Structure formats: C-alpha cells, structure tokens
C-alpha cells in the first residue's frame, strides 16, 4: 500500500471501499473530444453529461458552455467510437436526429430550485445496449 492510500483511508471508514471502486476509473479534466479519442476501446464506457443545449435552458449556469456546433462535434465523435456510450440531457431534436438507432429512456423529475417537473433523457448507444 502506498502512503497516499493510507492517508486516504484515514479520512473516512468508507475511504478504502471508495478507493477500491475507483481503481479502474479514469477521471480527466481536459477537452472531451481529446479524452474520447485517447480512451476509446471496445471495453470503454463513456458516460457523457454535457452542458444542456442552449435552446433548452433559460439561464447560463455552467462555467463552461457548449454552443450548437460544439454539441454537433461531440455527437459526431460519439457516434464513431468503438466503446459504449450513455449520454444524459434534456430532450433535443438534434440529439434524436443524430442518435437514430440508439436507445432512449425518458424520466420526469423536479430540477433543483424548480417546482415544475423536467424531462431528462438518456441516449444509449447500440454497443452499450448489447452489453446490458
């Protein structure tokens, strides 16, 4: 065991469990398209939760936004990966049009700070569906 592991485990009784669970998880803070290119294998699962489409939101609450062209570039890349993909977002014609043949699951929930329910969508790639 490394010293960092022992320090991490002393933080909380659950730290060792969390450490074991995250051993094979890769968390990166860089351009998503670069990460997708670098990490893509048939065994990779990409869970992608991009900023919502500008047309679906009334306020800019994200530090980093994606414009329409960036959403299109992300979708273009995700439709070409070897790995499995799950994307979350609000209903979107662009996503529905590009992700034809992907699984689609909708759920209503109350967004934080809102009394009105919103519909969230998961788009699930064919490779991810096959692995279920």
Share of the chain above pLDDT 90, in %: 56
Longest pairwise C-alpha distance within the chain: 50
Buried b / exposed e along 1-29 (16+ C-beta atoms within 10 A): eeeeeeeebeeeeeeeeeeeeeeeeeeee
Q: What is the pLDDT of residue 118?
A: 85
Q: What is the pLDDT of residue 89?
A: 93
Q: What is the pLDDT of residue 3?
A: 47
Q: Give 46-67 as a DSSP string.
A: EEE-PPPPGGG-SS---SS---
What's the predicted TM-score (pTM) here? 0.78
Residue ranges of the chain with pLDDT lower than 70? 1-13, 15, 57-63, 111-114
Q: Give me the domains of the chain, ranges plus CATH numbers.
A: 1-27 (no CATH), 31-131 (3.30.110)
């Amino acid at each position: 065991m490394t010293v960092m592991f022992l320090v991490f485990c002393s933080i909380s009784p659950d730290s060792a469990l969390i450490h074991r669970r995250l051993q094979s998880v890769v968390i990166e803070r860089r351009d998503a398209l670069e990460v997708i290119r670098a990490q893509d294998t048939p065994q990779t699962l990409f869970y992608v939760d991009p900023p919502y489409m500008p047309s679906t939101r009334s306020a800019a609450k994200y530090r980093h936004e994606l414009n329409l062209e960036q959403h299109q570039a992300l979708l273009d890349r995700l439709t070409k990966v070897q790995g499995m993909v799950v994307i979350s977002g609000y209903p979107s014609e662009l996503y529905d049009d590009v992700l034809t043949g992907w699984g689609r699951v909708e759920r209503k929930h109350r967004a934080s700070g809102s009394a009105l329910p919103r519909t969230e969508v998961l788009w699930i790639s064919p490779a991810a569906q096959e692995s279920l």
